[in-house]
Amino acid sequence: MSQAIVGLELPDLQETLGQDQPAFRARQVYDAIYRQKVTDLTQITSLPLNLRKELASKAAVGLPEAAAEYQSKDGTRRYLLKLQDQRTVEAVLMPEEGRDTICISSQVGCPVNCQFCLTALMGLERNLTAGEIVGQVLFIMRAHGISTESDRLNIVMMGMGEPLLNLPNVIKATRLLADPAGIGISPRRITLSTAGIVPKMAELGREPVRPKLAISLNASSEEQRRELMPITRKYSLKDLLAACKAYPLRPWEKLTFEYVLLKGVNDSDADARRVVKLLAHLNAKVNLIALNPGPGIAFETPDDERVHAFQAIVRRAMPCFVRKPRGRDIFAACGQLKREGVAGG
């Protein structure tokens, strides 16, 4: 397996090229990989031919390959991307009028055992490297000719995996995604979603370049959350809310709370009122997601009326939106990523 260049920052590139090479050579490679998005090192024509050849003999760009691709009737595309070790992860492109959103994975599988999520059934296989996280974005930008100069592009780390359990790689990937000299996506347009790994939240808050923080709340009480998200036995709702209160928001930032609505389980008016109470002292907004069903998931999707009644209660206290399901027909929606085909079986 040759060394992957995607995922390297300037000092790493300098080391790969050799310390005897002038610093501008590392910058040329950086520009070629992250701004021009070359797929082959021999395409870096700014480098002298012998250096290009030498680099290509020991390294490769290292972008993932598409093992499968599915297109939804709503325009959503789901990609099964193959990594160097033949394992696969999913990434999803959601095009909209005037903006695109790319949803990427942070781990192969996931160790957090949420009862309503298909990825949970895989368990954790391994963490992704920074290069494998960034590679998903570069792959989709290339495949669809998306440019950060002309297109509004949002990145959400809401695919497979728990990003806060792979924090160093997620942070390195964020620096690469956000670098104006490279890929150039503003950190305001990058969001990380966590199931609530409390001690890692403070760590994230100390990073100078970091994504916005979204938290999967999904329940209105400690007991209910413990049932639905067993991880919360370790990281309680009480501690989670304290970590949210202490989280250093930037002036333009709010905490986003995601709430999966499960029919007859956590979707009553009383649940909505409890959610308002839990979040009242935070600078928060709420995104509601009606359950995306899947094989092996023992919950049902509430009716639209119930979803809107829930929203109406929360909206009196704070901004509250209903997230439109995208790509349900190709198993691309939240909680449906499981590395398999359209049948999902």
Among 112, 134, 138, 213, binds ligand SAH (CB under 6 A): 112
Q: Tell me the Cα Rg of the chain.
A: 21
# binding residues, ligand SAH (CB under 6 A): 19
Mark whether 90 is an active-site residue: yes
Label residue 109 left, alpha or beta by phi (over 0 means left) and psi (-120 to 50 means alpha): left
Residue 267 within binding range of ligand SAH, rule CB under 6 A: no
Question: What are residue 53's DSSP bridge partners?
Answer: none
Element housing 144 (H / E): none
Mark whether 334 is an active-site residue: yes
Which one of the listed residues 114, 117, 320, 334 is annotated catalytic? 334
Residue 116 within binding range of ligand SAH, rule CB under 6 A: yes
- Please give the Cα distance from 78 to 289 (Å, whole number): 19
- Position closest to ligand SAH via CB: 335
Residues of span 270-309 touching ligand SAH by CB under 6 A? 289, 291-292, 294
- Please give the Cα distance from 344 to 337 (Å, whole number): 9
Instruction: Decide the pairing of beta strands 212-216 and 255-261.
Output: parallel
Contact map string, positions 26 to 55, toward ligand SAH, x by CB under 6 A? ------------------------------
Q: Tell me the two tokens of residue 152.
A: 């509004």
Q: Tell me the two tokens of residue 99.
A: 């903006």
Among 122, 133, 158, 279, binds ligand SAH (CB under 6 A): 158
Contact map string, positions 325 to 344, toward ligand SAH, x by CB under 6 A? ---------xx---------
Residues of span 64-103 touching ligand SAH by CB under 6 A? none
Question: What are residue 45's DSSP bridge partners?
Answer: none
- Cβ proximity to ligand SAH: between 135 and 211 the closer is 211
- Cβ proximity to ligand SAH: between 30 and 259 the closer is 259
Q: Give SS3 for 27.
A: helix
Which one of the listed residues 90, 132, 162, 258 is annotated catalytic? 90
Find the Cα–Cα–Cα–Cα dihedral 31, 32, 35, 40, rounded to 10°: -150
The least CB distance from residue 158 to ligand SAH, in Å, is 4
- Give the phi and the psi of residue 310 in degrees, each rounded to 5: -60, -45
Among 127, 166, 174, 193, binds ligand SAH (CB under 6 A): 193
Helices 10-17/23-30 angle, 10° precision: 120
**Rounded alpha-carbon distances, angstroms, from residue 206 to 128, 134, 186:** 22, 21, 18
Residue 7 within binding range of ligand SAH, rule CB under 6 A: no
The least CB distance from residue 274 to ligand SAH, in Å, is 17
Positions marked catalytic: 90, 334
Task: Point out which residues bind ligand SAH (CB under 6 A).
Answer: 112, 114, 116-117, 158, 162, 193-195, 216, 218, 258, 260, 289, 291-292, 294, 334-335
